[in-house]
Structure formats: structure tokens, C-alpha cells
Amino acid sequence: MKSFRLILAVTALCSPALSLQFNCFFLKLNSSLVWEEIYSGNCAVHHTTGNPIALVVVDAIHLPGFDNNDVESIFIQDFSQNLQQFPSNIDHFFPNLFDIVLVDSGLPTITAEDLKPFPALTRLVLNGNRILHVDGNLLQHTPNIRVVEFSNNQIETVGLGLFEGLRGFTEPGSLVSFFRNTCIDEFAGGPEQIAVLIQNLERDCLPPITTTTTTEAAVDECPLSCRTSIDSSFNEIEYLRQKVSTSESRIEQLEMQMQEILEKVQLKK
């Protein structure tokens, strides 16, 4: 079966000094996500000049009768390990993705805005990158997601509520992997294991809390209930500090009284 090559360029999307190119070939394969055959792409990242931030060219080798609109799954790799951020404009070339795999590419960060163009996303795999922190709102624009993998990164902190409200992780076939990270080394398959993993994330990977005053907490990704609890704790701490101060003052008074009594006793002798 012959294939044909399609080269697309969107030069107006960004400056040529800040761009990247995908060289892709495509094939049909069976997917466990939907239990049927899907059209999938394997793409190598090529840097044009400078530090790339946006996808502007796709060199695509498609099967006959298929084009970019048929692509549902994509595997992306930057062999130079120099991908500084999640590529923008992927959705302009591949508007129907529900499966994104971006591995071993040096990616240091990813945000909810990066994933916003993919509301149908079911699986996100980011193994083997250099991610240090995962925002608690990362998956807020992907309500159908049920598989996420962050194995072999350098994750030190994970924001609160990463999986909150996502029904996919309460259903059979769901999967979460945080293998070989700094704050956690764990894999979970299915709702029960995922529930335990979430507890471990909240125990071992929450970002540090910083405060400005005893009644005003500046907390990283902390919901209202969390802030209320923190304010209450600081109020109690302040009360105890005042109580300690009062107790210390009372102790000084008693010591002075004891000293006076001892002096009087000595005079009587």
C-alpha cells in the first residue's frame, strides 16, 4: 500500500525564530482506550532556530485516504531533549486528538492552558521528562481523562485536587502512574488503588504553605476550606502564645513573692 506525503506550514502563527517542526508518519493500530482501531501518528520534534515554543510545520506521511483530521492519537518525542514547553498549535494541525503521548523530551512543565485545546483527551503520558511540579488544576479542561502517566520525571510537588471531579478515575480501566519521582514512586490501576495514590500525593507531595499574617494565609492552590482551617489554627497558636506570655509574667510575680518571703524569714533569724 502506497503512502503520500503532506507538508503543512502555518508561518503566520509565530515568529520563525521561535518555532518547531514535527516530522510524522501515521498508521492504524488497536487502542485499549476505545477497544477499536484508531489512526495514530508518531512524530519527531525538530527545532528550527532559537528556543521553540510553537508548532508551525508538520511534515506528514499519511496512509492513502487519511489526513490530519483523522488523527486521534499522537506520540511525540524530542530526541535532543530540549523541549522547553508543551508545544502550542498542535490542535491547529490535529484537531481531533484524544490520546497524547509526549516522552523523553526534556519537558520541564505543563499547564492547564496547554491542555485546554483538547477537551476530548482521554490519555496523557508524559514519562521521562524533567517535570518538577504538577498544578492541581492541570486536568480541569479534560473532563474525560482517565489515564495519566508522569513516570521518570523529577516531580517534587503536586497541587491539591489534581483528580477532583474527574469521574474517569473512579471507573474500571483508569490508570495513574507516578513511578520514580522525587516525592512519590507509585503506580495505581483502578479506582481503589488510585484513591490510595491520591492520599499519598496529599501526604507527601503537597506544595509548602506560606503565610503573611496569622489571619491571612497565602496558600498555594489551597481551597476555601483549607484556608479556613489554617486561619483557625493560627488563631489558636496566637491565643496559646498570649497564654504563655501571661503565664510567664505570673511566674515572675510568684518568684518575686517567694524571694520576698525568704528574705523576711532570714531577717527573723
- What gap in Å lies between CA 62 and CA 143, rounded to an integer? 30
Task: Sort 218 into a burial class: Cβ within 10 Å, 0-12 / 13-18 / 19+.
Answer: exposed
Query: Which one is the CATH code of 4-208: 1.10.287, 1.10.1670, 3.80.10, 1.10.3470?
Result: 3.80.10
Please, are residues 39 and 70 in contact by the beta-carbon 8 Å criterion? yes
Please, are residues 22 and 57 in contact by the beta-carbon 8 Å criterion? yes
Domains of the chain by residue range: 4-208, 209-269
Task: Sort 73 into a burial class: Cβ within 10 Å, 0-12 / 13-18 / 19+.
Answer: buried
- DSSP state letters, 61-94: EEPTT--GGG--EEEEE-TTS---SPPBTHHHH-
Angle, CA of 43, 57 and 76, to the nearest 5°? 20
How far CA 214 is from CA of 85, 221, 222, in Å, comes to: 37, 18, 16
pLDDT at 15: 42
pLDDT at 1: 44
Please, are residues 230 and 210 in contact by the beta-carbon 8 Å criterion? no
Per-residue pLDDT of the chain (269 residues; tens, 9 = 90+): 444 444 444 433 444 445 899 999 999 999 888 788 999 999 999 987 755 679 999 999 999 999 999 999 999 999 999 999 999 999 999 999 999 999 999 999 999 999 999 999 999 999 999 999 999 999 999 999 999 999 999 999 999 999 999 999 999 999 999 999 999 999 999 999 999 999 999 999 999 876 554 444 444 555 554 554 565 555 556 556 655 656 666 677 767 777 777 766 666 65
Q: Are strands 133-134 and 157-158 parallel, antiparallel or unpaired?
A: parallel
Please, are residues 45 and 20 in contact by the beta-carbon 8 Å criterion? yes
The rounded radius of gyration (Å) of the Cα atoms in the chain is 28
Which residues is 77 bridged to in the sheet?
44, 103
Which residues is 211 bridged to in the sheet?
217
Task: Sort 261 into a burial class: Cβ within 10 Å, 0-12 / 13-18 / 19+.
Answer: exposed
Element (H, E) at 261: helix 224-268
Global confidence as pTM: 0.74
